[in-house]
Chain A
Amino acid sequence: MAANFWTSTQHDHWILDRRQLVKSKQPDLKYLSPQDLLKLKIWLYQLIQKLGKRFQLRQQVVATAIVYFKRFYSRNSLCNTDPFLVIVTCVYLACKIEECPHHIKLISQEAKGVLTDVGASTYDSSKIAEFEFYLMEELEFYLIVWHPYRSLTHICKELGMKDSGLQFAWFIVNDSYRTDVCLLYPPHMIAIAAVYLTVVLNHADFAPGSQGEKKDMRQWFADLNVDMEEVGIIVQELLALYEVWNDYKDEDAVALWKNFRKAVAEDK
């Protein structure tokens, strides 16, 4: 489990099939184009990040909350649920599981600060606590999440990559949580993809005499003994994300959300 990804519940139960993800998006695609749906999701992930910032959560805790959110929505759709309540509850639960708990009243209070800005309703503690049950159940009580950060640090250290490069790759991993790769691939593959992008985009500087400096990086990736085709797919997903993200604006997302809600309400 905690020492071995291959025996973890993430590996056994929460590496999903792409078809499953496509299926879970169908109800929402009745109201939105795939690109707009991605923009909405980006906006919702930003809200998780914002709420995390209020508690000065480490990136890994935020990442766990995002993974809970994604797992929830791999079986549900935005149009049938209240994503803001899901967000708040995911953050509350992730804090506990990552051993930096915050009182539920404080969570409710801070959520108010983040969510009233976007016109969402507020949730008192009992609402959050009630939904925690549903969330736990939906996650099938598999709560320990693996992230690419540890593999990333390990790889960069082995290569002798300078801090600026590690930082760049780290941000790519952060960005990867806006895509579905964390539901589809093992975390070390995402870390390798982030290193790959860092190298290809010329952001990797290596310390003198380090492996990264001495070796031909193409050969180094080839020698890794992982499926480079899969790494390629992850890289593609990331590049596709950046394309959408480039013309993403928070205000547009808020407008998108309002229209979406209206369309859903009219439909019901």
Chain B
Amino acid sequence: MSEYKSKRDACRTKVADKYEIIGFISSGTYGRVYKARFRDRLREDGKEDKSEFAIKKFKPDREGDTYQYTGISQSACREIALCRELHHENVIGLQEVMLEDKAIYMIFEYAEHDFLQIIHHHLHIERKPIPEGVVKSFLWQLLNGCAYLHANWVLHRDLKPANIMVTAEGVVKIGDLGLARIFNKPLCPLFNGDKVVVTIWYRAPELLLGSRHYTKAIDLWAVGCIFGELLLLKPIFKGEEAKMDSKKTVPFQRSQLTKIFETLGTPTKERWPNIDQLPDYNHLSSFPQYPNHLKTLYYQHMLGSKSEAAFNLLSSLLEYDPAKRITAEEALNHPYFLEDPKPVMTPFEAHGSEYPLRRVTHDDNDMKSVKPVTSNVPPPPKEDGRAAKKARNF
């Protein structure tokens, strides 16, 4: 096989020969992300190619001091396989995949902002709500990307503000498909082999009550939480995650359910007919009976001008019964989007929004460097520590 390998090795383009690193963006358990542009930026028409990229480098596995081949992780495989197939304006585009020195590089289109950063900016810097037209355009585009994924039988499974990118023009790009799955083939049950995914604050009540089936409705619940967060500038259900105990049993997420029940009311069989089929239904009787406060939350605590249609869409997304929860396709046709201001693809221009550019650092522009992952994480810009917990994903 050595002849074959050397032949292949000889014709492989090096990442650093094709791309020039502008700076280091973030790191996580999977590896590191860099901002980059083409090294050769002269286009055929003589103008400069200004394309920018986010290069996600999956760190190779190490045993002692040497890097080893240990097999490409399931999540990298998924992300590569899915991103290669998907092409949509509201889903982050994969430019190419490159392999070098036992490491995988995924080269994505670059997005200047993300929902988490924009929410933070409005809460702490501008101290005023995100303009209604921007919120509506964000939500519409997020649903549009979601509808595309769902029409293609792809579940995202980890929608949260940090995973929703936004370009400098305000175009929404759903990112981080490392947990996404194709659900057309009933292979092993979807739950199999995976821990329950989806960051706890965006986790749907049926999952919290022990459901083992991932459905499109689970992504739509997360969209509802994100919509709420865009209006409130903080997570609407900010529970404490119960950690896995030493016996590795999946813990019951009492705190997160309490947060949801306090706002939406404790669910009943009338509101959610099949709730008694869920594995953890028996826990339900131990909760107090809270009334539904969503209306109060929306009209008194959420920011910006009020709209009956907006409230209606929010409650349709945060519908307890997954069978009744609105689908992405239906949500796109919701009356809220017919009201002024109408959603647009590039809302920043229309609303004069300006946000600081994504922070990049320059002390680590060498993708080959073998520094310990933690030492170069830029200080979290947020007080709630979310960025510190998990760096931004592309």
Contact = CB atoms under 8 A, between A and B. Distances in A.
A235 interface: no
Interface string B235-271: 0000000000000000000000000000000000000
Nearest to A12: B85
Main secondary structure of the interface of B (DSSP, over half): mixed
Contacts of B278: none
Interface in B165-208: 181-182, 184-185, 187-188, 193
Nearest to A126: B69
B346 to A, nearest CB: 25
Interface string A132-168: 1110111001111000000000000000000000000
Nearest to A76: B4
Nearest to A104: B71
B151 to A, nearest CB: 6
Nearest to B98: A137
Interface stretch (A91-99, A180-188, A190-198, A207-215): A91-99
Contacts of A199: none
Contact of A3 (B5, B84, B184, B185): B184
A142 B97 CA distance: 10
Interface string B33-71: 000000000000000000000000000000000001111
B184 A93 contact: no
A74 interface: no
B154 interface: yes
Contacts of A93: 77
Nearest to B80: A141
Interface stretch (A78-86, A111-119, A238-246): A78-86
B357 interface: no
Nearest to A58: B187
Contact of A125 (B70, B82, B97, B187): B70
A179 interface: no
B72 interface: yes
B69 A130 contact: yes
A2 B4 contact: no
B81 interface: yes
Contacts of B184: 2-3
Contacts of B97: 136, 141
Interface string A103-133: 0100000000000000000000110111111
Nearest to A92: B71
Contact of B70 (A8, A85, A98, A126): A126
Q: Choose among A92, A104, A125, A143 the residue with the greatest number of B CB atoms under 10 Å from its CB.
A: A143
Give the bracket for the number of chain A residues in contact with chain B: 35 or more
Nearest to A86: B1
A100 B181 CA distance: 12
Interface in A1-22: 1-4, 7-9
B8 interface: yes
B3 interface: yes
A181 B261 CA distance: 56
A174 interface: no
Contacts of B360: none
Give the bracket for the number of chain B residues in contact with chain A: 35 or more
Contacts of A98: 185, 187
A143 B69 contact: no
A101 interface: yes
Contacts of B181: 99
Contacts of A99: 181-182, 185, 187-188, 193
A134 B193 contact: no
A24 interface: no
A132 B69 contact: yes
Nearest to B3: A80
A1 B152 contact: yes
A80 B70 contact: no
Interface in A37-69: 58, 60-61
Contacts of B69: 126, 129-130, 132-133
Given A2-B184, A96-B77, A136-B99, A144 B85 contact: yes
Given A99-B182, A99-B187, A104-B70, 10 more contacts: A58-B187, A60-B185, A97-B81, A99-B188, A132-B72, A133-B99, A134-B8, A136-B80, A142-B85, A143-B81
Interface of A: 1-4, 7-9, 58, 60-61, 76, 80-82, 85, 92-93, 96-101, 104, 125-126, 128-134, 136-138, 141-144
Closest 10 CB pairs of A and B: A1-B85, A129-B69, A143-B81, A104-B71, A130-B69, A129-B71, A2-B153, A141-B97, A2-B152, A96-B77
26 contacts: A1-B154, A2-B85, A2-B152, A2-B153, A3-B151, A4-B152, A9-B85, A60-B187, A80-B4, A93-B77, A97-B77, A97-B81, A126-B68, A129-B69, A129-B70, A131-B1, A132-B71, A132-B72, A133-B69, A133-B99, A134-B8, A136-B80, A138-B8, A141-B81, A142-B85, A143-B77
